[in-house]
Amino acid sequence: MGYRSRGNKPLTLSGVYRIFDMPIYYGPFEYPRRSDNWYQGSHEPIITKELYEKAQEHLKRDKIVRENREFAFTKLFTCGMCQSGITAQEKYKELKDGTTAKYVYYSCSKAKDRNCPNKYIREEELIEELFKVIDRVDINELGMRMKLEEEIKRFNRLQRLATKDTPKYSINEDDVNTREYAKYVLREGTPLEKRELMGHLRSRLVLNNKKITLLSE
Ligand SMILES: [Zn+2]
């Protein structure tokens, strides 16, 4: 649209978002920033409060959070098409009933090929794919068995600490099915636990149009 900054540079996208987010254009301002001390400006507003709120609604509708959050599976995968790393982003989508759903997408970072055509994958789909990997990988060969036994002991220890009484979800170390446990961590674990678990497969996981393959050595 040809708008320029005070320094006569084209506005950046993040700059535009910042402007939309500032209530000072209809009156109030916060000082110092993030202090939650709000003042009513004595200047003449250039927009109405209603317009400001309307803009907020639009921004929320399809907001992509670009901050670098902790995602469970970044850095574990390589792009099968250009060998770049795989990155993640969160996307919020307004549903018809007015609630907002959060999706996490993983996609090629395109560091090595700007035009890499590899498809993005939703976290749920990625976990389904990892289940298949867990089903077919030789866990003993990968040294995951020992790691998982440690994890199970740790889990039971934490359960005992947390509950004092008989743990509700104690896992029997002898009976445990390693693959099922791995899936359990993928489903219920924290991002760190998931990363630790899959970390054993690092550099072997390749993402290719929503399919995960193991890089053969
Ligand atoms: Zn790629």
CA of 117 from ligand 1 middle (Å) equals 7
Q: What is the structure's pLDDT at 102?
A: 82
Q: What is the 3-state secondary structure (H, E, C) of the chain?
A: CCCECCCCCECCHHHHHHHHCCHHHCCEEECCCCCCCEEECCCCCCCCHHHHHHHHHHHHHCCEECCCCCCCCCCCEEECCCCCEEEEEEEEEECCCCCEEEEEEEEECCCCCCCCCCCCEEHHHHHHHHHHHHHHCCCCCCCHHHHHHHHHHHHHHHHHHHHCCCCCCCCCCCCCCHHHHHHHHHHHCCHHHHHHHHHCCCCCEEEECCEEEECCC
Q: pLDDT tens per residue, the chain (217 residues)?
A: 778 888 888 877 777 878 888 899 999 998 888 888 899 999 999 999 999 998 888 777 655 544 445 678 887 889 999 999 999 988 888 888 877 888 889 999 999 999 999 999 999 999 999 888 888 877 665 555 666 677 777 777 776 666 665 555 555 555 556 777 788 888 888 887 788 777 766 457 899 999 988 876 4
Domain range spanning residue 45? 13-59
Q: How far apart are CA 112 and CA 102, in angstroms?
A: 29
What global pTM score does this model have?
0.55
Q: How many whole angstroms from 74 Cα to the centroid of ligand 1?
A: 14
Distance 81 CA to ligand 1 centre (A): 5
Establish if 43 belongs to a structural domain. yes
Ligand 1 center to 115 CA (angstroms): 8
Residue 31 lies in a domain: yes
Structure confidence at residue 1 (pLDDT): 72
In a domain, 85, yes or no: no
Q: Cα of 217 to ligand 1 centre, how many Å? A: 21
- If one counts the domains in the chain, the total is 1
Is residue 27 situated within a structural domain?
A: yes
Q: Compute the distance from residue 88 Cα to the ligand 1 centre, in Å.
A: 13
Kindly state whether residue 19 falls inside one of the protein's structural domains. Answer: yes
* Residue 75 maps to a domain: no
Q: How far, in whole angstroms, is CA 142 from its chain's centroid?
A: 27
CA of 192 to the centre of ligand 1 (A): 25
Q: Is residue 172 part of a domain?
A: no
